[in-house]
Amino acid sequence: MKFDTPAGPNPIDRLKVVGRPTDRIDGKSKTTGTAPYAYERHDVAPDAAYGYVLGAGIAKGRVRRIDTASARQAPGVIAIVTTLDTPRIERGVMNVAYLFGGDVIQHYHQAIAVVVAETFEQARAASFLVEVDYAPEAGAFDLAEAAKSAAPVPADSGEGSGGNGEERVGDFEGAFAQAPVTLDATYTTADESHAMMEPHATVAAWDGDRVTLWTANQMIGWGHGSIAKMLGLPKEKVRLDAPYVGGGFGGKLFVRADAVLAALAAKAAGRPVKVALTRPLIANNTTHRPATIQRVRIGATRDGTITAIAHESVSGNLPDGDPETAVNQTKLLYAGANRLTAMKLARLDLPEGNAMRAPGEAPGLAVLEVAMDEMAEKLGLDPVAFRIRNDTQVDPNQPDRPFSHRDLVGCLTLGAERFGWAKRNPRPGQVRDGQWLVGLGMAAAFRNNMVMKSGARVRLDGSGTVTVETDMTDIGTGSYTIIAQTAAEMMGVPLDRVVVRLGDSDFPVSSGSGGQFGANSSTAGVYAACVRLREAVAQKLGFNATDAVFEDGAVRSGNRAIPLAEAAAGGALVAEDTIEFGKISKAQQQSTFGAHFVEVGVDVDTAEIRVRRMLAVCAAGRILNPKSARSQVIGGMVMGTGAALMEELAVDAKRGFFANHDLAGYEVPVHADIPHQEVIFLDEVDPMSSPMKAKGVGELGISGIAAAVANAIYNAVGIRVRDYPITLDKLLDRMPDAA
Amino acid sequence: MVGATAPARQDAGVRAERTDEPVLATVTFTVNGQRRDLELDTRTSLLDAAREHLHLTGSKKGCDHGQCGACTMIVDGRRINACLTLAIMHQGAEIVTIEGLGQPDNLHPMQAAFVRHDGYQCGYCTPGQICSGVAVLEEIRAGIPSHVTADLGAAPQVTEAEIRERMSGNICRCGAYSNIVEAMTEVAEARA
């Protein structure tokens, strides 16, 4: 199905199943521990041997020699595959660094060997006997230093909101010079780790020249093609299966070393092998969100109308890597006649920087929305009112291009009302509650609504059960449930008559999970397949597909009604289709909007920061399942609170690695850090987005929240910290008198 | 006697044929009400004994370092990080894993509350959160104080602050904390 005109009325609009806060259909499996994740597939590979991965002990250079003689003699060892035995393996989709093969070390903890043994304990013990001789080389590890020689980003970066390295509208410099009120501030954001709870893991099994990988991966279509290319196999000889994925956040968008090494090790061992990256390998072996240095300049008239806005960002990456596209939202979020956005990319030899939840917007809004707070204060305006004053209903770079639907103002005003924003004292450091100085902060949330081609297959059998198959993944996003809701709505059956099977490369290729495009795109693909199935059913039952009504397990037309199952009495009916998005997706700007409101307390003596209240109001089209969508938003808010307050991969700029590479050193929010969270979804639909009229919410929640926390801290204590994360040591020597 | 090169000793339950062969030991404990006899490499964690030997994969390995809580089991009534303890240290223990709390057709009230409140997303930390959640309510009931218990002389109450403090060893990167607290509160209130 080609989606190239705005969606008209369709069966989804009935909202008998879609749009309801249904419990997840995979909930019982997850809460009882019976949902199988990649490393747990005793059912498919009962005789799997254990692979243990070794990471390089240098950040840059070459491996001269790997001595495996002792390790091979160790008890239980079946095989050892080293990077020196293996020609350099081609990169898969979105890989920047090479994953394995050859003697070149591009980054610390790059995989250099896998030891396979009968047990995990034996593989681990034998790995300690492997001796490696390196020829290290000097590298660039300090972003601030490398930024001095960073090159402008010339072309489409392809991530975040997409777009060019430098864009100009009007005369920014001229307008900024003439503006009566200006801000020019520079901020930094830290390197961050996805730190998903399930380590990257794969079980690989060969059957002759065919290989199956049970793996943790967000994008089965990409991974399928990548593994085929990396192993030099035709795609038909490769199968990937990922029915459950224990979190990804962008870190599992692509094939990583676990998958490649499991496949190579299984071949070498002559039996299935399972490989999980140990937790201490993950931060340096895999990918991270790159740190940024961002400069924002805003010029406005005295009444708070922005006349000039510039956002520039520098980040670093390995050769062939992309920038963190932190400036992109600034092209679209606020009005202003004179504009500049620009990015530079520094060459670094740290591990690979790549997409992490809301790439671009998460660190970009963390900065822009603090700059807006600073500017509002200079103008003597309320931060909410300042943002409303500078709202735009068109793309400021192309004023003839409207937003498909934009209600940022609605989010801001409703949020302010519900949060009690009017009670905020605009003078910082004034509100005391016992030991705590209390502050309120807010920020706008913004993330584009991307759409991706997505396919599905649906089958109606004689029992009236509808089975959906698509290679879509559920990485905690709720895909199982919203796909079941979509099929139930389309076929007019209750939710418990729908079976959903996901994550298998034998199924039709879907959008996959990423960029908050998964929910809208994959359900639109299921919608398309169901339209086909409805046609097949109507034809079978002698109805006209256009006027047949599918409801309550029956098909009706006029005064005729036939049970749906009867259509499959003579054999199952199967239909498959793919939703493809035409020019409509670009004709208008499709974005999602929100407003974050946060209350913090800062201890007057210790500067300990506690988040006390959080509210997000979101405008993101039709909400397919308010319960799981809310969880996506609060989850984003938690991760963004981590970015605001604690998350920072600490760079050892001499040795060139992230020093705090486990969950004790890399701190993420825990229960005690997070208060009760409120989320409100505005009741809206966006017929430009898809037949579902939905948009993404998975990344909207993280977009802007860090700034709301930062602004609340400023309101509490009057200290503006421009370097994330805002830890208490950055406040302590500047705290107001505790009197 | 836990090293790979530990000398062979002919103690009951311990044998090693070569000095560099793994030292094996037998251990017997009860898992989810069922007696289990295992002969294990002495280096095997309780977590790997469950996941790799008993095929009880509900308990998750998130870090293998006691930093995330995904492996939480209830051993002799107390929650522990099963990755930080060797299986052979639990001779005679009564062990409850997520599988022992309830099954899909017969959910434990805490499991049902997690489903109702969407107290999870990807599901990987969930068994640990639930085991921890069940044990936390027992700890409070038993009068065990926490860092946030204001009055050490009085019985601790099931408050949101107590739950958040006691659950902070169980990381949820999907960020379901707010919902988990609500699920636990509901279970506590239903029982009160």
Partners of residue A289 on adjacent β-strands: A192
The two tokens of residue B99 are: 């599988």
> What is the pLDDT confidence band of residue B11, given thresholds at 50, 70 and 90?
very low
Nearest to B68 among A30, A663, A675 (CB): A663
Enumerate the β-bridge partners of residue A3.
A581
pLDDT at residue B77 tops 70: yes
CA A353 to chain centre: 14
Q: Which of A105, A255, A102, A79 is nearest to A655 (CA)?
A: A105
Residue of B nearest to A640 (CA): B175
Question: Is A200 within 8 Å of chain B by CB?
Answer: no
Residue A332 phi, psi (nearest 5): -125, -15
Residue with tokens 């609060």: A634
- Each residue's pLDDT tens digit, A402-448: 999 999 999 999 999 999 999 999 999 999 999 999 999 999 999 99
Mean confidence (pLDDT) of chain B: 91
Alpha-carbon gap, residue A330 to A311, rounded angstroms: 7
Q: Distance, in angstroms, between A374 CA and closest chain B CA?
A: 29
Query: B20: pLDDT confidence band, cut at 50, 70 and 90?
Result: confident
Taking the CA of residue A410 as centre, how many other CA atoms within 13 Å lie in the half-sphere pointing to its CB? 14
Taking the C-alpha atoms of residue A316 and residue A288, their distance in angstroms, rounded to an integer, is: 11
Q: Is B121's CB within 8 Å of A478's CB?
A: yes
pLDDT digits (tens, 9 = 90+) for A387-410: 999 999 999 999 999 999 999 999
Q: Considering the entire predicted model, what is its pTM?
A: 0.96
Burial class, A158, CB count within 10 angstroms (exposed 0-12 / middle 13-18 / buried 19+): exposed
User: Does the beta-carbon distance from A198 to B52 stay under 8 Å?
Assistant: no
Q: Spell out which residues of chain B touch residue A634, defining contact as CB-CB under 8 Å.
A: 175-176, 178-179
Residue ranges with strand state E in B32-144: 34-41, 72-75, 78-81, 94-96
Task: Name chain A contacts of B48, Cβ cutoff 8 Å.
Answer: 120-121
Which residue of chain B comes nearest to A24, CA vs CA?
Answer: B115
**Best of A194, A671, A678, A705 to mutate (most B CBs within 10 Å, chain B):** A671
What is the rounded CA–CA span in Å between residue B171 and residue B176?
10
Measured between CA atoms, how close is A567 to chain B, in angstroms? Answer: 31
Count of beta carbons in the 10 Å neighbourhood of residue A737 = 6
pLDDT tier for residue A103 given thresholds of 50, 70 and 90:
very high
pLDDT in tens, A318-352: 999 999 999 999 999 999 999 999 999 999 999 99
Residue B10 in this model has a pLDDT that exceeds 50: no
Picking from B40, B68, B118, B148 by the largest number of A CB atoms within 10 A of its own CB, the best residue to mutate is: B118
Output the pLDDT for position A164. 64
d(CA A331, CA A300): 17
Q: What is the C-alpha to C-alpha distance for residues A37 and A29, in angstroms, rounded to an integer?
A: 11
Size of interface A-B (CB pairs under 8 A): 208
Given this model, what pLDDT does residue A155 score? 56
Helices (H) and strands (E) in chain A, counts: 17, 33
Quick check: B164 and A627 CB within 8 A?
no
Minimum CA–CA partner of A42 in chain B: B55
Of A34, A668, A672, the CB nearest to B165: A672
Band the pLDDT of A739: cuts 50, 70, 90: low
Q: Distance between CA B178 and CA A678 in Å, rounded?
A: 9
A699: annotated active-site residue: yes
Tokens 């938003």, located at residue: A633
Beta bridge partners of A241: A214, A504
Instruction: Check if the beta carbon of residue A136 is closer than 8 Å to that of residue A392.
Output: no
Pairwise CB contact (< 8 Å): B178 & A676: yes
Nearest-angstrom CA–CA distance, A258 and A196: 15
Using CB atoms within 10 Å of the CB of residue A583, give its burial: 0 to 12 exposed, 13 to 18 middle, 19+ buried: exposed
Band (pLDDT 50/70/90 cuts) for residue A158 is low
Indicate whether A646 pLDDT > 70.
yes
What residues form DSSP beta bridges with A133? A65
The gap from C-alpha A464 to its chain's centroid, in whole angstroms, comes to: 36
pLDDT value, residue B19: 55
| Chain A residues with beta carbon closer than 8 angstroms to that of B43 | 121, 125
Instruction: Identify all chain B residues contacting A671, using CB atoms and an 8 Å cutoff.
Output: 163-165, 167-168, 170, 177, 180-181
DSSP A420: T
Tokens found for residue B65? 């370092």
Domains and CATH numbers, chain B: 24-101 (3.10.20.30), 109-191 (1.10.150.120)
Instruction: Using CB atoms, pick whichever of A279, A635, A669 lies closest to residue B121.
Output: A635
Q: What is the per-residue pLDDT across A531-580, written as a single tens digit (0 to 9) for each?
A: 999 999 999 999 998 899 999 999 999 999 999 999 999 999 999 999 99
pLDDT surpasses 80 at B8: no
Please report, rounded to a whole number, the percentage of residues in chain A having pLDDT higher than 90.
97
- For residues A278-303, average pLDDT: 98
| C-alpha torsion sign, points A546, A550, A554, A557 | negative
Whether the CB-CB separation of A621 and A694 falls below 8 Å is answered with yes
Q: Is the minimum CB–CB distance between A121 and chain B shorter than 8 Å?
A: yes
Question: Phi, psi at residue A574, to the nearest 5°?
Answer: -125, 135
Asked whether the ipTM of the predicted complex exceeds the cut of 0.90, the reply is yes
Burial letters for A667-681: b for 16+ Cβ neighbours within 10 Å, e otherwise? bbbbbbbbbbbbbbb
Residue B49 dihedral angles phi and psi, to the nearest 5°: -60, -45
- The length of chain B in residues reads 192
- Give the pLDDT confidence of A236-250 residue by residue, as tens digits: 999 999 999 999 999
Best of A20, A22, A28, A31 to substitute, by most chain B Cβ atoms within 10 angstroms, is A31
Residue B20 gets which letter from DSSP? T
pLDDT of B191 reads: 79
Average pLDDT score over chain A: 97
Task: Name the E strands within A242-323.
Answer: 273-276, 292-300, 306-317
Closest CA to A32 of B90, B15, B42, B60: B60
Instruction: Kindly give, in sequence order, each residue whose CB lies less than 8 Å from that of residue A290, ignoring residues fewer than 6 positions away.
Output: A191, A315, A316, A317, A323, A324, A353
Q: CB neighbours of A245 closer than 8 A, spacing ≥ 6?
A: A37, A38, A198, A216, A217, A218, A252, A473, A474, A475, A476, A503, A513, B122
Reply yes or no on whether the pLDDT at A160 is more than 70.
no
Number of helices (H), then strands (E), belonging to chain B: the values are: 6, 6
Q: Residue B155 pLDDT > 70, yes or no?
A: yes
What's the order of all strands across the beta sheet hosting A554-557? A549-551, A554-557, A560-563
pLDDT band at A86; cut points 50, 70, 90: very high
pLDDT at position A671 over 70: yes
Minimum mean pLDDT range among A320-329, A356-365, A629-638, B4-13: B4-13
By the CB < 8 Å criterion, does A608 face chain B?
no
**Edge to edge, what strands does the sheet with A454-460 contain?**
A2-3, A573-581, A454-460, A466-470, A498-502
Among the partner-chain residues B122, B130, B169, the one whose CB lies closest to the CB of A245 is B122
- Check A195 against B164: CB less than 8 A apart: no
Give residue A472's pLDDT band: very low, low, confident or very high (50, 70, 90): very high
- Asked if residue A125 lies in contact with residue A288, where contact means CB atoms within 8 angstroms, the answer is no
Q: With 90 as the cut, is the pLDDT of residue A161 above it? A: no
Residue A700 confidence class, pLDDT cut points 50, 70, 90:
very high
Q: How confident is the model at residue A694 (pLDDT cuts 50, 70, 90)?
A: very high
Q: How close does chain B come to A474, measured CA to CA in Å? A: 7
* C-beta atoms of B123 and A244 within 8 A: yes
Cβ pair A250, A222 in contact under 8 A: no
Identity of the residue numbered A58? I
Nearest-Cα distance to chain A for B92, in Å, is 23
